[in-house]
Amino acid sequence: MDSGARARIMLSDDHSFVRRGLRNILESTDQYEICGEASDGRQTLELARKLHPDILILDISLPTPNGLEVAKQLSESLPEIKVLILTMHDSAEMLRAAAAAGAYGYLLKSDDEALLVDALQHLKMGEHFISPSFEPGLAKQLFR
């Protein structure tokens, strides 16, 4: 995707206030268009297949199926959709699981909101991104 083009973003989190907060952050810039929202794994898969967003911001702790399974299914069927995991799980094991499931990025809900825009810019350019809370070299190990 052209790094200057407006990216189509889909939001998937089971908490409406998280989706609303993400929408407010992203709509404050003209770089992103929110093309859809989902609150569970099944709805996320259906909408992603219908809407073909450029980037899916995805919570791991979704109900039915969870975010890791959603990321895995989308990486197999629609690999052009870049999945950014946005989670409260600050663990290298979950980061490894997300990378193995095909996620392109991993950001913590406790990270500064400016990192969200930074992560999205990396994904727009086809680059992987992980929260700075993790060891810097870990991204190169996980995303080859």
Read off the CATH number of the domain in which 109 is found: 3.40.50.2300
2 domain-assigned:
no
User: Is residue 60 assigned to a domain?
Assistant: yes
In a domain, 1, yes or no: no
Q: In this structure, is residue 63 part of a structural domain?
A: yes
Residue 92 sits in which domain range? 7-142
93 is a domain residue: yes
The alpha carbon torsion through 83, 84, 87, 89 (nearest 10 deg) reads 80
Per-residue pLDDT reduced to its tens digit, 39-55: 999 999 999 999 999 99
Give the model's confidence band at 2: pLDDT under 50 very low, under 70 low, under 90 confident, else very high.
low
Which DSSP helix (H) or strand (E) runs through 94?
A: helix 92-100
pLDDT of residue 26: 94
117 domain residue, yes or no: yes
pLDDT of 76:
96
pLDDT surpasses 80 at 143: no
Residue-wise pLDDT tens digits, 15-39? 999 999 999 999 988 899 999 999 9
User: Does 89 fall in a domain?
Assistant: yes
Q: How far apart are CA 144 and CA 139, in angstroms?
A: 9
What percent of the chain has pLDDT above 90? 83
At residue 135, the pLDDT reads 85
Task: Report d(CA 14, CA 128) in Å as an integer.
Answer: 24
- The count of structural domains within the chain is 1
**Position 121 in a domain:** yes
